[in-house]
Chains A and B, each alone.
Chain A
Amino acid sequence: MNSVLWNAYQRALLLLPPDFRHRYAEQMLQSAQDADADHRRRLVFACFLFQDLASTTLREHTRMFTKLISRRPFFYQALCLSAVAFFLALGGYILMQQTIRRAANQPQRQMADDAVRLYTVADHLAVATPQIDLAHSLEPFIIVYDESGKVISSEAALNGIVPAPPPGVFANARKWGANELTWQPRKDVRLAMVLRHFSGVHQSGFVLVGRSLATAEQGELIARWTALLGWLGIVCQLTISATIFSRMQRGRPAASA
């Protein structure tokens, strides 16, 4: 085996569990070097050596872990319960986050449906002037676009300009009749938007009804911290319980002796 492979093998020995490595790594290396000197097909031997090391690493880590579990059963149980609690907290957070986010689509849905009903039968569209500042307002707003995505009417603007979602959003709404998503016209501005396509007698286009997600995001933040702190609380409680039970168990034979 050449020096590169020897160096790789020597480094790979670091993957072994520390105790085992401390006791046998030097001996393993010496035996491997002795064996290498006797082998003519060096590459085949190198493959065999690395395969042997991989299986040994896996086996010894499993053995070490099993030993650890048998030595400290309460801590192992606490670890398992912590993992279960983590997934429960994560699941709880995802559920809360989804509930909050979906709730943030109201009243936009209702407003968009009403606007579509109105624009479908209207002779002409009333043109609104942008009075809502998207960067700061929590108020719902309506923007009407024509089929090409050009603004017809808008109640809101961002830095004096009425923003438009990417063309793909319009294409999707045209295809499916509606599109509901989170729109981020600027890095710090996130909106829950509902886009509906309408085909009126005189005009067709899109109605976009949106609202700032600032309130919903505050709710999500609270949910995230609740889940995290709840999980950390459970972990602390489990650690304390495991420590107490371990000490009680250790004290038992001494008391009976």
Chain B
Amino acid sequence: MPESTPLSPAVFSILLALADGEKHGYAIMKESAAQSPPNKMGPGTLYGSLDRMVAGKLVEETGTTDDQRRRYYRITRSGSEALAAEANRLKSALTALHRKGVRPEATV
């Protein structure tokens, strides 16, 4: 099941960016940069990941476009499930970290 496997950082960022509605490429890039500031995503990485995600039915093109150069993508049901599974995994990891007394500030 693809939903149960951990997501790559790029895929996770894209799914998270699309979680609240459809977006075009640059909007996804911008939001993923805002989510994790040091890790910027370039257009190549973005569209390479989107291509794989469209093939894996995690996201789909909406069909609405400002023009041919700015197409919109939205998350699918499988994409939402994969994102939820990843959120659960992160939550468990965070709980384990807290239990072991690891604080995020300590690593900065």
Chain A residues with CB under 8 Å of chain B are 20, 23-24, 26-32, 34-35, 38, 48-49, 51-53, 55-57, 59-60
Complex-state Cα separation, A32 to B46, whole angstroms: 11
Task: Tell me the bound Cα distance from A242 to B21 in angstroms.
Answer: 48
Question: How many residues of B are in contact with the other chain, CB < 8 A?
Answer: 19
Chain B hits for A59, CB < 8 A = 48
Known: A28-B46, A52-B44, A53-B43. 20 other contacts (CB 8 A): A20-B47, A23-B51, A26-B68, A26-B69, A27-B43, A27-B69, A27-B70, A27-B71, A28-B43, A28-B47, A29-B69, A30-B69, A30-B70, A31-B25, A35-B30, A48-B40, A48-B42, A49-B42, A57-B44, A60-B48
User: Is chain B's interface secondary structure helix, strand, loop, or mixed overall?
Assistant: helix
Distance between Cα atoms of A48 and B24 in the complex (Å): 20
| Cα distance, A51 to B41, chains bound together (Å) | 11
The residue in A24, A55, A60 that gathers the most chain B C-beta atoms within 10 A of its C-beta is A24
Q: Is B12 an interface residue (CB 8 A)?
A: no
- Which 9 A/B pairs are nearest by Cβ-Cβ distance? A52-B42, A56-B44, A30-B69, A34-B26, A28-B43, A24-B47, A31-B25, A31-B26, A31-B43
A20: B residues at CB distance < 8 A = 47-48, 51
